[in-house]
Amino acid sequence: MYQLNLHDLTVEQFLAEYWQKKPLLIKGGFANFEDPISPDELAGLAAEEEIESRIVSKSKGEWQLETGPFEDYSAFGEQDWTLLLQAVDHWHPESAVLIEPFRFIPNWRIDDLMISFSTPGGGVGPHLDQYDVFIIQGMGKRHWRVGMPDATLTQHCPHPRLLQISPFVDCIDVITEPGDILYIPPGCPHEGISVDASLNYSVGFRAPAQKDLLTGLADYLIENEIQGERYTDAGRTVATNIGEITSADLASVQQMLQGLINDPKLLAQYFGSYITHAKHELDATEPDPHYHLDEIAEYLLEGSVLARLGGLRCCYIQATAADDISLFINGHTITVPATELSTVKQLCEQIQLDAQTCIAFAEDPSKLKLLTMLINQGYWYFVE
Amino acid sequence: MYQLNLHDLTVEQFLAEYWQKKPLLIKGGFANFEDPISPDELAGLAAEEEIESRIVSKSKGEWQLETGPFEDYSAFGEQDWTLLLQAVDHWHPESAVLIEPFRFIPNWRIDDLMISFSTPGGGVGPHLDQYDVFIIQGMGKRHWRVGMPDATLTQHCPHPRLLQISPFVDCIDVITEPGDILYIPPGCPHEGISVDASLNYSVGFRAPAQKDLLTGLADYLIENEIQGERYTDAGRTVATNIGEITSADLASVQQMLQGLINDPKLLAQYFGSYITHAKHELDATEPDPHYHLDEIAEYLLEGSVLARLGGLRCCYIQATAADDISLFINGHTITVPATELSTVKQLCEQIQLDAQTCIAFAEDPSKLKLLTMLINQGYWYFVE
Ligand SMILES: O=C(O)CCC(=O)C(=O)O
Ligand SMILES: O=C(O)CCC(=O)C(=O)O
Ligand SMILES: [Co+2]
Ligand SMILES: [Co+2]
């Protein structure tokens, strides 16, 4: 497991002083860093249809962007290109653990692990993102510059699918070495140019915009066939201006919309389901045939270990300590009695359930039933 | 033009005592009623692809539903079927005027005119609707029964696309004759069985449900690329339960959603656009080539008369008397200065602009420009 070393800073101080406020270079944030993946393995993943990959390259001052899968890299030459893979945590468990040291931020805020391999001179150009990111330097070295948000920066597209920004003033200018970590808040301009062949790991965050939340709620209402109440106007008076939509009409509309948003149960159910929905494909394989409860119990009692599917989003909401818990897994909701809070926490917090935990699960019928369902959906799987 | 005769009732009394509350039979609501359309003309419209038509029939106790277009009715026999056409006001100006007497209810609440032709014994069966309706009896007679809302009624589908209800207790039981009008509020069970060959005209209303309003707002944000603000959490403290979506998290989400709904400008722009969007196809034909402003001025000054496209939904919103007016026409918004309020009202209120009004439009450059645009979109057209 990787251990985050913030040196003089505590996590509390990091959150108070830097999180969402200003960029930070954490020199040697991971001591004695060893890459969880090799460039060859990464190329292997980039050959897969299901994995979102792209290559950004620059040749004679012209930026290019190509999307994968990729089989052959000879056309790109020896320098000035970067291969980027999204959501590698869904496919490569050894890399997925790079996310764990950052879980002082809750699960729902964490998005995915992107990995890039760059040749000398490679980079995606100066740009800004709408999300926080921790960029970990793996093998090789990269020249990173990071600046503060600046409203005077202008964006342009040197290629239709590449958004870059005008030159920016940096507050961090560093050659990152293996184990160095950059924290970059949303809106901070940044640019990394590889010094030699290098790997970078980006732990990205998820921060929905107002539009995302509203369209997500609309989708939730549709999927769950929630119609709500219909507009009524008993007691209406004769319209004086038949073409007018009056402020009273608009106030009714507003009240109806507020009625949806101010329903705490609906809001909780919707948001839990919305935010645990994976954006990228998961590597789930349902066991075929499904396991019987008894089989699972047997394996667990024998000392098996269970792993959680990479990238699986697990969260819970409990209104009060006496209430049932809504456990949200990949957009689905499971209602669990309040007495099972520790079970729910284990599922949400641990990427592996060790033998001892597994035995305890096997010995409790309701825990066993829950686990059987999760295993039969391919969300947890036996590793030992 | 048709004149609504409520007899002892004033419109104010009708609204206070019946609207959205209880059904009402208005005997001879239209005195000396003459049908604006014949069964043959209706059959002609039912042959059109663009017009939504269906035939509901009952033979040997089995209900059937077929959707148009229809060319031939011989298979349906002489009795026990009804042909229903939606949004006939979009296609048949003489029928469209049947809506006008009901415009003590504002434009945005009015939906469309449905027309049915029934053979003896014909009807759609006992059912309830979610919307208010005025059903006008044209030629022939029909046996109508209407009841009060009743939570004990159960719904069933005698045909996959036909929703009917269990037997209900009526409070109105009448053989309607030409010019009789039934007002039926949402949720009131009703059934009409034709005595002889008969025509019925349904002036229907529009009442969005909470879900419709929210999905409409989501669509508006997407169409207008309104992203809003992104979730932020500067000052976050270390997560104690990383799996938990806390009540503070949910409060932020709620606040972001409220921020959209409580933006009066956004709400007004969205709702005006949403509610003026026609649900059924319009019969708009853009003049090709477009008219020049000068040509239009010439026609108008010559004494031309302009008609508004049938079923075109026109509304406006003005926050205060000093503010610009948002004129909404078929989902589009036109911003008009406050000084043009009377112009906006004329467009929203009148289905025809007479020669005198047209001349006044022609003489005012900004009115003329607006009208030119509307004519070139096919929304108003010359009739004389
Ligand atoms: O690794 C790269 O080249 C790009 C990383 C980056 O810009 C990011 O994660 O925001
Ligand atoms: O005309 C018909 O047969 C059906 C009319 C009706 O039920 C309605 O307009 O709600
Ligand atoms: Co970036
Ligand atoms: Co009906």
User: pTM value?
Assistant: 0.94
**pLDDT tens track for B291-318:** 999 999 999 999 899 999 999 999 999 9
Q: Would residue A250 count as lying in a domain?
A: no
Number of independent structural domains in chain A: 2
pLDDT at A384: 74
Nearest CA in chain A to B225: A211
Q: From CA B191, how far away is CA B124, in angstroms rounded?
A: 7
Q: Does A279 touch chain B (CB under 8 A)?
A: no
**pLDDT tens track for B181-199:** 999 999 999 999 999 999 9
**pLDDT tens track for A373-382:** 999 999 999 9
Do B182 and B51 fall into the same domain?
A: yes
Q: How confident is the model at residue B384 (pLDDT cuts 50, 70, 90)?
A: confident
Cβ count near A34 (within 10 Å): 10
Do A82 and A178 fall into the same domain?
A: yes
Please give, one letter per residue, the 3-state secondary structure of B278-342.
CCCCCCCCCCCCCCCHHHHHHHHHCCCCEEECCCCCEEEECCCCCCCEEEEECCEEEEECHHHHH
Do B23 and B156 fall into the same domain?
A: yes
Q: Would residue B243 count as lying in a domain?
A: no
Is any atom of ligand 1 closer than 6 Å to the C-beta of A192?
Answer: yes
> Closest Cα of chain B to A9: distance in Å?
13
Q: Would residue A181 count as lying in a domain?
A: yes
**pLDDT tens track for A204-219:** 999 999 999 999 999 9
Could you tell me the CATH number of the domain that includes residue B187? Answer: 2.60.120.650
Could you tell me the CATH number of the domain that includes residue B358? Answer: 3.40.366.30
B265 φ, ψ (degrees, to nearest 5): -65, -50
Is any atom of ligand 1 closer than 6 Å to the C-beta of A128?
Answer: no
Judged by CB atoms closer than 8 Å, whether chains meet at B230 and A208 is answered as yes
DSSP B233-252: -TTPPPPSSTTB--HHHHHH
Q: From CA B39, how far away is CA B60, in angstroms rounded?
A: 25
Q: Does A365 touch chain B (CB under 8 A)?
A: no
Do B197 and B312 fall into the same domain?
A: no
Is any atom of ligand 1 closer than 6 Å to the C-beta of A326?
Answer: no
Do A196 and A301 fall into the same domain?
A: no
Do A162 and A298 fall into the same domain?
A: no
Judged by CB atoms closer than 8 Å, whether chains meet at A244 and B103 is answered as no
Q: Which of residues 173-232 of A touch B (CB under 8 A)?
A: 186, 207-211, 213-215, 217-219, 221-222, 226-232
Judged by CB atoms closer than 8 Å, whether chains meet at A242 and B106 is answered as yes
Q: How confident is the model at residue B60 (pLDDT cuts 50, 70, 90)?
A: confident
Q: Would residue A117 count as lying in a domain?
A: yes
Q: Which two tokens stand for residue B66?
A: 């077929």
Domain boundary among B205, B238, B259: B205
The answer, yes or no, to whether residue B170 has pLDDT greater than 80, is: yes
Q: Would residue A128 count as lying in a domain?
A: yes
Domain boundary among A160, A188, A205: A205
B101 CB neighbours in chain A (<8 A) are: none
Residues 6+ apart with CB under 8 A from B145: B126, B168, B170, B172, B173, B174, B190, B191, B192
CA distance to A10, A107, A112, A135, B279, per residue, from A86 (Å)? 30, 18, 7, 14, 41
Q: From CA B208, how far away is CA B365, in angstroms rounded?
A: 38
Q: Which two tokens stand for residue A312?
A: 């699986």
In terms of Cα–Cα distance, which of B97, B116, B86 is closest to B34?
B97
Q: Would residue B210 count as lying in a domain?
A: no
For A48, the 3-state DSSP assignment is coil
Do A188 and A56 fall into the same domain?
A: yes
Q: Which two tokens stand for residue A56?
A: 């950004």
**pLDDT tens track for B265-301:** 999 999 999 999 999 999 999 999 999 999 999 999 9
Do A192 and A316 fall into the same domain?
A: no
Q: Which domain holds residue B353?
A: 293-382
Domain boundary among A141, A173, A205: A205
Judged by CB atoms closer than 8 Å, whether chains meet at A20 and B236 is answered as yes
**pLDDT tens track for B333-351:** 999 999 999 999 999 999 9
Pair A45, A92: CB distance under 8 Å: yes
Task: Determine what percent of chain B is predicted with pLDDT higher than 90.
Answer: 97
Q: Would residue B268 count as lying in a domain?
A: no
Which residues of chain A fall short of a pLDDT of 70? none
pLDDT at A61: 86
Q: Would residue B270 count as lying in a domain?
A: no
Pair A316, B245: CB distance under 8 Å: yes
A70 φ, ψ (degrees, to nearest 5): -115, 135
Give the least confident one: A155-164, A210-219, B46-55, B218-227.
A155-164
Judged by CB atoms closer than 8 Å, whether chains meet at B221 and A211 is answered as yes
* Total beta-carbon pairs less than 8 A apart between chain A and chain B: 256
**pLDDT tens track for B114-141:** 999 999 999 999 999 999 999 999 999 9
Q: Which letter does DSSP use for residue A250 in this model?
A: H
Do B86 and B199 fall into the same domain?
A: yes
Q: Does A320 touch chain B (CB under 8 A)?
A: no
